[in-house]
Amino acid sequence: MDTLPQPGPQPDDFAITAQISLVEQRFRTLKHGDMFGVFDQRGDIRPGPGGTEGLYFNDTRTLSEFELLVAGRWPILLSSTLRDDNATLTCDLSTPDLPERDLASNLIHIRRSRFLWQGVCHERISVRNFDAEPHSLPVEIRYGADFADLFEARGMTRPRHGNHEPAEVTPESVTLAYTGLDQRRRWTELRFDPAPARIDEGRALFNLDLPAHGRALIFIEISCDQAAVPHKPSDSFLKRMLEQRRWTRQSSARAAAIETSNEVFNEAMRRAISDLTMLTTEKPTGPYPYAGIPWFSTAFGRDALITALNVLWMDPALARGVLRYLADNQATTTDAASDAEPGKILHETRQGEMAELGEVPFRHYYGSVDSTPLFVMLAGAYLDRTGDVETLAGLWPHVQAALAWMDAYTDRDPRGFVSYFRQTEEGLANQGWKDSFDSISHADGTLAEGPIALCEVQGYVFAARRAAAAIGRRLGHGVEAAAQEARAEFLRAAFEQAFWCEDLGTYALALDGQGKPCRVRASNAGHLLLTGLATPDRAATLTASLMDSRFFNGWGIRTLASNELRYNPMSYHNGSVWPHDNALIALGMARYGFKPQAERLFSGLFDAALYMDLRRLPELFCGFARRRGQGPTFYPVACSPQAWAATSLHAALAACLGLSFDPPECSVVFDRPCLPPFLSEVTLHNLSLGSARISVVLRRMGSEVAMNVLDRTGVIHAVLRS
């Protein structure tokens, strides 16, 4: 029996521990700006080892306990729902049997309504008596704040901490505070309305007198690191709720809308758009999608670039915001601790105590080999989609800096490949999208040693150079455009020779530091279809390989084929299924004309969503083969919602519709569209080109798809190519 070679000690310091399954807990999440909350179905935050729940602000858990008890008992859960737009969490509860109070169950109804808005968590607790007799009930709120750094909350340990300050208590509020080793004071203020009967550093007690069929209300505001404006929480609850919902409607209305013949699919798409809206944070540079909750609710480069690419057809403003933010945060100096080099695009940024102290390298971290070419790729795609030359002119110096960084690497490699090698032991060992320590290996299971040249990264570099050439020509930089075209063609020839593995029917996963190919069948090669680097004949072979049963498990393409030595369907990157990975591959298959295969991926992802809580595709799920009458196997610590997963169905739909835009011709183009069996009709509302808008409906007619224009505003056309 083959056994995996045992590598030397290589702890994955930044791996997320799986002490508690997020799937098992069925957490409810809210987010606005830099605050997010993870709550159980009752709306509580329960303390405990390995617990994920909490209210987080700027990468710090500012509330680690928040529990509601009635007469010293937890209420019984009736239901727990998020509004379709993710604006409000509503938890319906009831008291259990309380014989000592002569109160049977289901006579007292409790409704908790909660939302986040501008750094404040607002809650209204409604307690209603449905009995014909009056009742007096003690209602207790227990609270606490450990001020754990987010990396602690997800499993890391710290030998030293700062100091917790004595609580500041007033008749209607309590402030919990902590001064970290970075000398920064962080605090959480809880304000209650009406004032509790008793209040201290850990609990607030209300004595409610409920007449027959009467009701009592408790309002709570929880603010973090900001001075409170004097007011009663009861006065602001409805006002802030209306502000938040108005903002949510305006943000989601910016994009084109989708309506289909399948109502369940419509539910999944509405939830996906609501998730994307919730994850998007308004920056001075424009909207920016944070990567995911709970562990990645911050600005990531790669994740945002791919998310924006997936929905570019329906919301180009998101891409513009992503490009501007990343341009503003592009590295300008060399710093080994943060893997920064001039021209590199951000991997992630963090604001917590551990990042401020350098205990983790992620304050402004650039250890991502693919963010930089993806930045140029998205810039080119944005220009193709919008014709917005003005924005690209402003971004051109940043595109040039990104190209200069790529040139510095390829100039050192005679074949023109871009590779990575972390500059310090504290950085990420692997710096592609599969960034766990064991994700890049040889066929015998040996981990690859750097510098490592990933196959998909060469595809991104190829597409980036071609995009830069197109941008350069539009901006009048003909010499630079020609140089980038030449570099792209040189890379194409060198790549085919170095990476293609005829006997495997795929491209090698990577080249290691000795130039030896990692002859492993991995989904990474599918991204070469997206970028156009694969030759047409090898694209056909690669597509067939990706769709055989060793890769495609019925729900999607696995990250690693099942016959590979390191295959494990429960691993993070070595056999799981990632929706965004499949969406990018589907776009690539459609690019080469393999629409039936793209349609199968689309159908598999949608079928998986049918089994997910709230129809929400998670970050990933396990790679076990699909079985009749059963759903996919969940991954225990997958982020949900997650931005690039939320946009996967949108990208797959665009792939099947062959959707593109031609700004010079003022046209929306559908190139040989197809619809999967679960969709007989798709209506796209308010597709935009500049200020012009058009709405179209596409219907399956036998083996063909017909198109009708419903309405239009301005000069814009729809073109169907068969």
pLDDT band at 229 (very low <50, low <70, confident <90, very high): low
Domain ranges of the chain: 22-248
Average of per-residue pLDDT across 680-695: 97
> Residues 520-541: pLDDT tens digits?
999 999 999 999 999 999 999 9
> Residues 254-280: pLDDT tens digits?
899 999 999 999 999 999 999 999 999
Distance CA 524, CA 499 (A): 12
* Counts of helices then strands in the chain (DSSP H, E): 17, 32
Q: What pLDDT sits at residue 9?
A: 31
- The fold of the 22-248 domain, in CATH, is Beta-galactosidase; Chain A, domain 5 (2.70.98)
Mean pLDDT of the chain, nearest integer: 94
How far out from the chain centre does Cα 545 lie?
Answer: 28
Q: What pLDDT sits at residue 73?
A: 94
Q: What pLDDT sits at residue 225?
A: 86
**Buried-exposed string 490-508: b where 16+ CB fall within 10 A, e elsewhere:** ebbebbeebbbbeebbbbb
Distance CA 230, CA 237 (A): 14
Indicate if the alpha-carbon torsion angle 642, 370, 18, 521 is positive or negative. Answer: positive
Q: What percent of the chain has pLDDT over 90?
A: 88
pLDDT band at 6 (very low <50, low <70, confident <90, very high): very low
Average of per-residue pLDDT across 367-375: 97
Please state the φ and ψ torsions of residue 703, each to the nearest 5 degrees: -95, 0
Q: What pLDDT sits at residue 629?
A: 92
> Residues 587-596: pLDDT tens digits?
999 999 999 9
Q: What pLDDT sits at residue 12?
A: 55
Q: What percent of the chain has pLDDT over 70?
A: 96
Taking the alpha carbons at both ends of the chain, their separation in whole angstroms is 53
Lowest mean pLDDT among 1-15, 127-141, 245-259: 1-15
Whether the CB-CB separation of 117 and 222 falls below 8 Å is answered with: no
Whether the CB-CB separation of 73 and 58 falls below 8 Å is answered with: no
Q: What pLDDT sits at residue 11?
A: 44
Per DSSP, the three-state class of 88 is coil
Q: What pLDDT sits at residue 411?
A: 65
